[in-house]
Amino acid sequence: MDRLAKFGIQVQVDCIFCGKAKETFDHLYFDCHSTKKLWERILKWLEHTRLIGDWYHKLIWISSMAKKKECKAEMITAAFTMVVYCIWRERNSMRFNNGGYNIDEVCKEIAMHIHIQGRRKSNGGQD
């Protein structure tokens, strides 16, 4: 957002999810009540307890998880990337297409993706 403003492009600066704060990277992904709820639900579903922190600390954590070859770590890594992707996609849909945000649908989509990925892995990469 700040980058666009430097070029003189007018953009809405309020968070599209909550409308209560400026849309910064950390707010959008970790501080916003709506997106924080998504993180909490997915982590709870994975039976993983971790406080939602800032982007820098999240990257260090997920990088260490990605190096592990355990099934649980692979699921958490996949879920992390899906949550980041879904938040950005939903944000763009709301901002540019007047879309809505349904946390239940996003959670189902992420769970389905994780199950499909797990099934592929258990079949040796074959569908």
What pLDDT tens digit does each residue of the chain (127 aa) get? Answer: 566 667 777 777 899 999 999 998 889 998 999 999 999 999 899 888 766 667 787 888 888 888 888 888 888 889 999 999 999 999 999 988 998 999 999 999 999 999 888 777 776 655 5
Q: Name the burial class of residue 56, with classes exposed (0-12), middle (13-18) and buried (19+) by CB atoms within 10 angstroms of its CB.
A: exposed
Beta carbons within 8 Å of 1's beta carbon, 6+ residues apart: 11, 13, 22, 23, 24
Say how far apart CA 83 and CA 87 lie, in whole Å.
Answer: 6
Please give the span between the terminal C-alpha atoms of the chain, in angstroms, as a whole number.
Answer: 41
Residue 42: the pLDDT is 93
